């Protein structure tokens, strides 16, 4: 397989040179690299679900392709025969070429024999069987790319292709005009640069109603000085494509090319990856300024890649387009990264559990009809292994307090019977808006995930075990805190760090509930354990276990506020304990935000005063322990 990849790279060059929650679907697909994938309206389903075509090379180096029908809910079944040949290192694009309501497909690429290529249009019978256009004007191509286009707005689908014919080392860029939906005519003269080993993308860059074209690639063996090209051509509405000069685009090969309005200003920006002529990998975003002129977007977090793929989509439903990038980084390592857009065209890496790939393909589509964009990825993992997976976009429940995931079903069970919820993780959770005042001993909060339930007057214990997995919570990774009340006015009920640090794997809290009261708690992954960096917990996996307790095993009351005055305090603080049960061994404790005990006293009546003049300014917690009675309040020292 290593020899295959070396040959494949040589063929491409020929002498020239990172919240959202994606969950791996159980669906199985052909595993391929050097791949092409495309979603399309193959059967014109009433549901609107898209079918799927995949083609590439398997881990034995053979070309394979399968057409999959969408059966709903993110599941697919393969068509026994599709009529679409297999290929690698090429392109597949769906479009309704013959205007019959279902999508046809254009494909080009390298066939089983590396010396051969293909390029043709295949018409769909509406049931998932495709027939080749014959006779065909399309050239067989290697190192190819293609796009559908309609420059004259005549409601027909034309085709632009670039690549080289198997017997010709020089690349070419061609335009095929749709004559009558079943016949195509190659343009005698097409003004775009002749290229190979590149990409092509079509969009209306300036909003004039005409489709413009951008191409990347190499002019190797075209009889002129070697160039790596990235050029934009505007359609003038009169049948002519005119190059827009003066743009800062970096010429690349082994490239991906994608248009989208990233900054929400109404025009099309462009993202480019690939290999520069000096051999360096690049990834660059360019903002459209006006009339086809662009400027480079600076201070973006992109990593340069080659032999990759990229695509824009609104993955988090906030109204702006986000981005995925795959490919081969410097050092030949595979790479896959999601980027979130802030709405102004500034991107940031998003933690994800997606497989790193190169010689890759990506495609977004709402495969399960739930209104968000799911993701298919394929490519090489390393020299010997290929990969294809569908990831379903499942919005997080629990990034913030208000979105806490309901776990009511875990409560109300028989005494001492464990109720379990598994399949949880903290990948991508960003601890958004967590309370600063908490009783955790560790230095801050890394990746908390919120949950909520309604009290029933019973006593419970919540534990966070490893669920039998080696990826469970490690000691010094796990913390739990429980609150009652509204998210804007939380009252601490109970909390702890890892309960058995010498044993590992268990953090828990025990408490009583009030009937009808809303409780909220979060599990925190301190030390990077939940985000993939913690030793022993690379996937952030954990379970919740809830055990109903005997009433005598916990405090009779919890989280009753202590009356403090003045609050904020400066020199003196008085505790009013009227109405509270004070046992003989009762104690009052003041802790700082790191959980350190600052002061402790033993009340003997309903009031107690303490000198706070030596306390540093800040926020503290005051805790009363009186037999089975516990009360907590917040204290501010000026």
DSSP string, 550-597: PGGGS-SB--PPPEEESSSBSSEEEEE-TTS---TT-EEEEE-TT--E
pLDDT recorded at residue 6 = 36
d(CA 36, CA 57): 10
Q: SS3 for 44? A: coil
For residues 233 and 242, is the Cβ–Cβ distance under 8 A?
yes
For residues 578 and 506, is the Cβ–Cβ distance under 8 A?
no
d(CA 24, CA 569): 53
Q: Quick one: the chain helix, strand, coil %, rounded to 5?
A: 5, 45, 50
pLDDT recorded at residue 424 = 78
pLDDT recorded at residue 431 = 58
Q: What tokens does 189 get? A: 């003269």
Q: Is the dihedral of CA 427, 428, 432, 436 positive or negative?
A: positive
Query: For residue 92, which of 113, 73, 76, 68 has the smallest C-alpha distance?
Result: 68
Return residue ranges of the chain for CATH 2.60.120.380. 401-548
d(CA 354, CA 375): 10
User: Which of 44-58, 371-385, 502-516, 591-605 holds the top average pLDDT?
Assistant: 371-385
Average pLDDT, the chain: 84
Q: Which residues pair with 574 in a beta bridge?
A: 565, 609
Between residues 228 and 565, the one the model is more confident about: 228
pLDDT in tens, 499-521: 444 344 456 788 888 888 999 99
Query: For residue 637, which of 603, 604, 598 has the smallest C-alpha distance?
Result: 598
d(CA 207, CA 185): 28
d(CA 366, CA 374): 5
pLDDT recorded at residue 629 = 60
First to last CA, the chain: 69
Q: Which residues pair with 77 in a beta bridge?
A: 69
How many other β-carbons are positioned within 10 Å of the β-carbon of residue 561? 13
Q: Would you give the DSSP letter of residue 443? A: S
For residues 424 and 447, is the Cβ–Cβ distance under 8 A?
no
Give all strands (DSSP E) within 402-448, no chain letters. Answer: 405-406, 418-425
Q: Which residues pair with 284 in a beta bridge?
A: 272
Backbone angles phi and psi of 11, in degrees to 5: -60, -40
Query: For residue 35, which of 294, 461, 378 has the smallest C-alpha distance?
Result: 378
Omega of the bond leading into 148 within 30 degrees of 0 (cis): no
User: Which of 310-314, 369-373, 611-615 holds the top average pLDDT?
Assistant: 310-314
Model confidence at 9: pLDDT above 60: no
pTM flag (> 0.75): no
Model confidence at 243: pLDDT above 80: yes
Model confidence at 487: pLDDT above 90: no
Average pLDDT over residues 544-557: 69
Range name among 172-186, 365-379, 413-427, 541-555 with the lowest pLDDT average: 541-555
Domain 563-637 fold is Immunoglobulin-like (2.60.40)
d(CA 495, CA 341): 36
Between residues 491 and 219, the one the model is more confident about: 219
Between residues 340 and 470, the one the model is more confident about: 340
How many other β-carbons are positioned within 10 Å of the β-carbon of residue 35? 33
Q: Taking CA 582 as the corner, what is the angle to CA 579 and CA 586, rounded to the nearest 5 degrees?
A: 145
Q: What tokens does 360 get? A: 């890759």
Model confidence at 498: pLDDT above 50: no
Counts of helices then strands in the chain (DSSP H, E): 1, 44
Range name among 201-210, 303-312, 371-380, 438-447 with the lowest pLDDT average: 438-447
| Residue reference for tokens 């080289």 | 164
pLDDT recorded at residue 16 = 27
pLDDT recorded at residue 92 = 98
Model confidence at 527: pLDDT above 60: no
Query: For residue 480, which of 469, 467, 496, 491 has the smallest C-alpha distance?
Result: 496
For residue 536, what pLDDT band results from cuts at 50, 70 and 90? very low
pLDDT recorded at residue 533 = 34
Q: Which residues pair with 282 in a beta bridge?
A: 274, 305
Between residues 358 and 524, the one the model is more confident about: 358
pLDDT recorded at residue 13 = 37
pLDDT in tens, 432-447: 566 665 665 544 566 6
Return residue ranges of the chain for CATH 2.60.40.10. 563-637
pLDDT in tens, 565-581: 898 999 999 988 765 66
pLDDT recorded at residue 534 = 35
Model confidence at 15: pLDDT above 60: no
**H or E segment at 130?**
strand 130-132
Query: For residue 623, which of 567, 559, 573, 554 has the smallest C-alpha distance?
Result: 559
For residues 54 and 39, is the Cβ–Cβ distance under 8 A?
no
For residue 2, what pLDDT band results from cuts at 50, 70 and 90? very low
Average pLDDT over residues 8-28: 56
Query: For residue 482, which of 519, 531, 436, 525 has the smallest C-alpha distance?
Result: 519
Between residues 124 and 513, the one the model is more confident about: 124
For residues 269 and 288, is the Cβ–Cβ distance under 8 A?
yes
Model confidence at 529: pLDDT above 70: no
Q: SS3 for 433? A: coil
pLDDT in tens, 309-338: 999 999 988 899 999 999 999 999 999 999
The contacts of residue 188 (CB under 8 Å, 6+ apart) are none
Architecture of the domain whose range is 401-548: Sandwich (2.60)
């Amino acid at each position: 397989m290593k020899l295959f990849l070396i040959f494949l790279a040589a063929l491409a060059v020929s002498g020239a040179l990172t919240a959202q929650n994606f969950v791996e679907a159980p669906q199985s697909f052909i595993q391929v690299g050097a791949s092409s994938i495309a979603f399309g309206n193959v059967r014109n389903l009433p549901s609107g679900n898209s079918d799927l075509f995949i083609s590439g090379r398997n881990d034995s180096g053979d070309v394979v392709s399968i057409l999959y029908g969408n059966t709903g809910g993110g599941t697919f079944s393969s068509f026994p025969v599709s009529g679409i040949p297999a290929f690698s290192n090429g392109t597949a694009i769906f479009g309704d070429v013959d205007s019959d309501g279902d999508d046809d497909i254009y494909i080009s690429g390298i066939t089983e024999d590396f010396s051969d290529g293909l390029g043709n249009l295949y018409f769909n019978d509406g049931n998932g069987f495709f027939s080749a256009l014959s006779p065909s004007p399309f050239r067989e191509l290697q190192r190819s790319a293609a796009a559908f286009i309609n420059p004259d707005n005549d409601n027909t689908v034309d085709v632009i292709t670039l690549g080289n014919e198997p017997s010709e080392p020089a690349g070419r860029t061609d335009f095929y005009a749709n004559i009558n939906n079943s016949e195509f005519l190659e343009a005698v003269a097409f003004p775009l640069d002749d290229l190979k080993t590149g990409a092509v993308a079509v969009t209306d860059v300036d909003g004039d109603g005409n489709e413009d074209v951008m191409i990347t690639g190499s002019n190797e063996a075209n009889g002129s000085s070697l160039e790596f090209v990235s050029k934009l051509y505007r359609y003038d509405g009169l049948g002519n494509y005119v190059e827009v000069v003066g743009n800062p685009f970096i010429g690349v090969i082994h490239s991906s090319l994608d248009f989208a309005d990233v900054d929400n200003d109404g025009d099309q920006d462009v993202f480019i990856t690939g290999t520069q002529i000096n051999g360096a990998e690049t990834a660059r975003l360019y903002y459209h300024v006006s009339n086809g002129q662009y400027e480079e977007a600076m201070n973006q977090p992109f990593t340069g890649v080659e032999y990759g793929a990229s695509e824009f989509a609104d993955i988090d439903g906030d109204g702006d387009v986000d981005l995925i990038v795959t490919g081969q980084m410097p050092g030949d390592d595979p790479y896959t990264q999601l980027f979130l857009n802030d709405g102004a065209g500034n991107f940031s890496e998003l933690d994800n559990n997606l497989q790193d790939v190169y010689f890759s393909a990506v495609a977004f589509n709402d495969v399960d009809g739930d209104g968000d964009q799911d993701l298919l990825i394929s490519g090489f993992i390393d020299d010997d292994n290929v990969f294809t997976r569908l990831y379903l976009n499942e919005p997080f429940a629990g990034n913030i307090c208000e979105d806490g995931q309901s776990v009511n079903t875990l409560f109300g069970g028989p005494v001492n019977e464990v109720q379990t919820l598994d399949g949880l993780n903290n990948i991508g959770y960003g601890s958004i808006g967590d309370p600063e005042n908490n009783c955790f001993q560790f230095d801050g909060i890394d990746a908390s995930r919120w949950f909520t339930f309604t009290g029933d007057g019973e006593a419970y214990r919540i534990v966070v075990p490893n669920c039998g997995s080696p990826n469970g919570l490690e000691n010094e990774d796990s913390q739990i805190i429980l609150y009652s009340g509204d998210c804007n006015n939380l009252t601490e009920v109970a909390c702890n760090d890892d309960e058995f640090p010498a044993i590992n794997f268990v953090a828990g809290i025990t408490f009583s509930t009030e009937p009808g009261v809303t409780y909220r708690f979060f599990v925190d992954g301190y030390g990077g354990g939940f985000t993939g960096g913690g030793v022993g917990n690379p996937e952030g996996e954990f379970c919740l276990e809830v055990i109903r307790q005997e009433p005598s095993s916990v405090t009779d009351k919890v989280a009753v506020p202590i009356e403090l005055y003045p609050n904020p305090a400066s020199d003196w603080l008085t505790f009013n304990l009227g109405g509270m049960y004070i046992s003989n061994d009762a104690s009052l404790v003041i802790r700082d935000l790191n959980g350190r005990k600052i002061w402790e006293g033993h009340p003997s009546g309903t009031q107690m005063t303490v000198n706070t003049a030596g306390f540093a300014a800040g926020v503290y917690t005051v805790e009363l322990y009186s037999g089975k009675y516990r009360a907590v309040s917040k204290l501010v020292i000026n």
